[in-house]
Amino acid sequence: MNQQDDRVRAQALQSGFREVFGQDPDGVWAAPGRVNLIGEHTDYNEGFVLPFALPQSTYVAARRRSDGQVRVHSLFTEETAEFALEGLRPGSVDGWAAYVAGMCWGLREADVAVVGVDLLIDSTVPHGAGLSSSAALECSVGLAVVELSGTVLEPLALARIAQRVENDFVGMPCGLMDQMISMLGEAGHAVLFDTRSLTPTLVPLAPTGDAEVLVIDTRAPHRLVDGEYAERRRQCEEAADALGVTSLRELSDTETEVAELLAPLTDETLRRRARHVITENRRVSEAVALLRDGDLAAVGERMRGSHLSLRDDYEVTVPEIDLAFDVVSGAGVLGARITGGGFGGCVIALAPLGVHQQVEEAVTAAFAEAGFSAPAVFRAPPADGARRVL
Ligand code: GAF
């Protein structure tokens, strides 16, 4: 989304706000979804991730109120929710509005003097596709509420509040990647984020300008996502415990062979989970060095390694995802992998310019033959993070 499109969308929301609430909003804010180039299920193991922000964003038009109430209307569900700031607690609001109420709760917990607001929300981030529509909602609402409450927060501080909201208000035990990139994304760059030191480093993407990232949204319904995710996280903690380290990251930083590191683990499932995390951290570090050298073919190989590890060791893929990966890998791309938490969602491909159509045709035909819903294929240029638009 370029700045022009951003403004057009924000102006449409501004007039929508007048229709719904009968007054002008004080401003319009936006925060993007993301894809993760590589580094999956590492962020809750103090590891490395390499995501970038998408042009697709969630937009929030907001106006301050003086009575401590929050009214929020969503144009993507056509529903309205209303709640008082006083007395907000985990469990008091559910559904999509829990992310909005959760941000108000989380900001209050972080000692922000949150004011009441009217909010109108719209989004271009595909919902339920593993592209972080929930982080986009949290961060856009958070940015609006913070500013209207007369406070300034560092982007990473707001990201951490949004993560706490997911963990403690919504009940999803996620890491920090999605909220971090929604706040810190920069056009033309991925962000290498060390989730132990909380240090972001910008990595220019495709510096030679001869490749692009394609997203293949399989439209596979998310299955068992929260329970399975929580279980993976528990297994990693158990593996770290059994190996006598505080997190699996500690083992990723050594030169030691993975088999040797894992030798003390007797449980086969825990061994495979830990092997994924350790090898994935190493692949992220390698991919960053290779990107800087412009060796995109080798980056593609690391992406392929990541997918196979997520399929075989971490077991977070589904048939639609594996089919998309297989087909796309044979359609002239440099590399492909599942992106996001898994159990549905999207495959991304690092592709030379000019193969987009070939990829789209191949995956569409294969999905039709397999009896799956038609997939969507689109380009993903790295875009900016959360921002005030109007
Ligand atoms: C989901 C989570 F929200 C992230 O924190 C991350 O763990 C990801 O799955 C897997 O890498 O998007």
Which domains occur in the chain, in start order? 3-199+384-388 (3.30.230.10), 205-379 (3.30.70.890)
Rounded to an integer, what distance in angstroms lies between the CA atom of residue 49 and that of residue 38?
6
Q: Ligand 1 mean position to 372 CA, how many Å?
A: 25
* Alpha-carbon 83 to chain mean position: 27
Rounded to an integer, what distance in angstroms lies between the CA atom of residue 144 and that of residue 153?
11
Give, using CA atoms, the residue closest to atom 9 of ligand 1: 341
Give, using CA atoms, the residue closest to atom 1 of ligand 1: 341
Which residues lie below 8 Å from residue 38, measured CB to CB, with a gap of 6+? Answer: 50, 280, 283, 284, 287, 302, 303, 306, 337
Which residues lie below 8 Å from residue 54, measured CB to CB, with a gap of 6+? Answer: 32, 33, 34, 35, 125, 131, 380, 383
Residue written as token pair 């594996």: 322
pTM (2 decimals)? 0.97
Could you count the other beta carbons within 10 Å of the beta carbon of residue 118? 22
ipTM reported for the complex, 2 dp: 0.99
Could you count the other beta carbons within 10 Å of the beta carbon of residue 374? 10
Q: Identity (one letter) of the amino acid at 258?
A: V
Rounded to an integer, what distance in angstroms lies between the CA atom of residue 98 and that of residue 276?
32
What are 335's two structure tokens? 């590399």
Rounded to an integer, what distance in angstroms lies between the CA atom of residue 236 and that of residue 204?
31
* Predicted pLDDT of residue 254: 87
124 marked as part of a ligand binding site: no
Residue from 388, 390, 387 nearest 183 by CA: 387
Residue from 167, 179, 182 nearest 98 by CA: 167
Catalytic residue among 6, 118, 178, 217: 178
147 marked as part of a ligand binding site: no
* Alpha-helical runs (H) found in the chain: 3-21, 97-109, 133-148, 155-164, 177-184, 225-242, 249-252, 258-262, 268-293, 296-312, 319-329, 356-370
Positions in the chain short of pLDDT 50: none
* Predicted pLDDT of residue 76: 87
Contact present, 47 and 192 (Cβ < 8 Å) = no
Rounded to an integer, what distance in angstroms lies between the CA atom of residue 74 and that of residue 123?
9
Contact present, 216 and 362 (Cβ < 8 Å) = no
Q: Is 280 in the pocket of ligand 1 (CB under 6 A)?
A: no
Q: Ligand 1 mean position to 5 CA, how many Å?
A: 28
Residue from 372, 353, 354 nearest 363 by CA: 372
Concerning whether 384 is annotated as a catalytic residue, the answer is no
* Predicted pLDDT of residue 221: 79
Strand order in the sheet with 69-74: 79-84, 69-74, 116-123, 51-65, 27-36, 387-388
186 marked as part of a ligand binding site: no
* Predicted pLDDT of residue 207: 56
* Predicted pLDDT of residue 210: 87
* Predicted pLDDT of residue 336: 98
